[in-house]
Structure 1
Amino acid sequence: MTHKVILITGASSGIGEATAKTLVKNGHKVILTARSEDKLNKLVDELGHENAFSVSADATQFSELESVVSKGIEKFGRLDVAFANAGMGVSSPGTENGDPDEWSAMVDLNIKALLWTAKLTLPHLRENQGHFILTSSAAGRRPIDGSI
């Protein structure tokens, strides 16, 4: 397999962190982003600066994501895969129990950030016949008590 350059949002923990470790172990380069600069720096130190590059950013902020993509491509010269992994759930499921501010934050991260990531990476992915991957949830396929 040809070694690829992969952008991962939500890379500082969980699925994003585990994916980054697996990709680097298999010879790929990773561009990592998340809000936690400390966690990202620790992960890059672990993976090696020749294999991993990070830019702390809030994925809900278009200009911050734009900077991540630009700096990552500047570092590694190309982008082959974008993994839109950043996301969140709500603390109190159910329509009547929900917090409108929490819903707004969830829409910003789970929908808008995904759109921003696609908008900013697709032109580069097309150049390299790359791929766009996203993390989703089973919540859309399984009913949750109290939800509409």
Structure 2
Amino acid sequence: MDISKSVVIVTGGASGLGEATTRNIVSKGGKVVILDLNADRGLSLVDELGEANTLFAKTNVYEEEDVKSALAQAIDKFGKITAAVNCAGIGNAQKTYGRKGPFELDGFKKVINVNLIGTFNVIRLAAEKIAQNEPDENGERGVIVNTASVAAFEGQIGQAAYSASKGGIVGMTLPIARDLAELGIRVLTIAPGLFETPLLGNAPEKVRKALGEMVPFPQRLGQPHEYAHLVESIFANTMLNGEVIRLDGAIRMQPK
């Protein structure tokens, strides 16, 4: 898929991995619809990158009407949607049972709602719009990229909710790719390792440095632009489909 001709929905597109993806797509000539709850940050990005190239839609990804409204706004402004990149996500560190008692069920549900159900909600509704595109010379109508985590495979202590949500994204990648194959829509998932994102933004520099040194090579935290570059590579390579790609510097997480 030609990134310069793309119209991309990016959830969580106002910060972290999503913001880097937004910036990269626009820099290559594509259009981006930013779905995020942070209106101040989203509108600021639109001002910076230009209204001709971007649109902000305040969106709770697991609310059906929110996503439908955002997609309708995208179609109204840009005429089509060719891709969706799902970066919206939250965390919740708590032991299944610990000093404070059992894991709070509402907290578990919230992580599942945002990370897993929210991702699927965007996939299913975006796929409906992407399926209406004319296929290109390869028979491709569009691409969907999701964000999991290495925690899907090596969840640490206290990550039951987060790992379950990201493991769900991993688990549904292949069946959704198979579902949408006949429509010419590719589906992939990126599983980042330790990245310099708002989730780690409040950690002291000493902590971030120590985390970076856990990575075999390069011994540092990943940078959001490296995630964005992989998204660009996925767009360009039509043979990539139905796969989960680890982007982690070869790290394998320990229990804590």
Q: Structure 1-normalised TM-score?
A: 0.92
Q: How does 1:25-44 map to 2 (within 5 A)?
A: 25-44=27-46
Report the counterpart of residue 110 of structure 2 in structure 1.
105
Q: Which has the higher contact order (CA 8 A, sep 6+)?
A: 1
Structure 1 CA distance, aligned partners of 2:78 and 2:85? 16
Taking only the aligned residue pairs, the percentage that are identical comes to 27
Report the counterpart of residue 128 of structure 2 in structure 1.
123
User: CA 1:147 to 1:109, structure 2 compared with 1: closer, same or farther past 3 Å?
Assistant: closer
- Extract unaligned runs of 5+ from structure 2: 134-140, 161-256
Instruction: Tell which structure's C-alpha radius of gyration is larger.
Output: 2
Report the counterpart of residue 23 of structure 2 in structure 1.
21
What is the CA distance between 1:147 and its match in structure 2? 6.2
User: CA 1:73 to 1:146, structure 2 compared with 1: closer, same or farther past 3 Å?
Assistant: closer
Q: 1:139 aligns with which of 131, 151, 160?
A: 151
What is the CA distance between 1:138 and its match in structure 2? 0.9
- Extract unaligned runs of 5+ from structure 1: none
Q: Which amino acid aligns with 1:82?
A: A
User: CA 1:22 to 1:145, structure 2 compared with 1: closer, same or farther past 3 Å?
Assistant: same
Structure 1 CA distance, aligned partners of 2:150 and 2:91? 11
Report the counterpart of residue 114 of structure 1 in structure 2.
119
Q: Secondary structure at the match of 1:121?
A: helix
User: CA 1:69 to 1:146, structure 2 compared with 1: closer, same or farther past 3 Å?
Assistant: closer
1:44–1:53: 8 Å Cα contact kept in structure 2?
A: yes
Deviations 1:92-144 (A, max 9, x none): 3x322433222111011011111110121112222331011101111111142
Q: Which amino acid aligns with 1:120?
A: L
1:7 aligned to 2:19?
A: no
Structure 2 CA distance, aligned partners of 1:112 and 1:54? 22
Report the counterpart of residue 92 of structure 2 in structure 1.
90
What is the CA distance between 1:56 and its match in structure 2? 0.7
1:96–1:146: 8 Å Cα contact kept in structure 2?
A: no
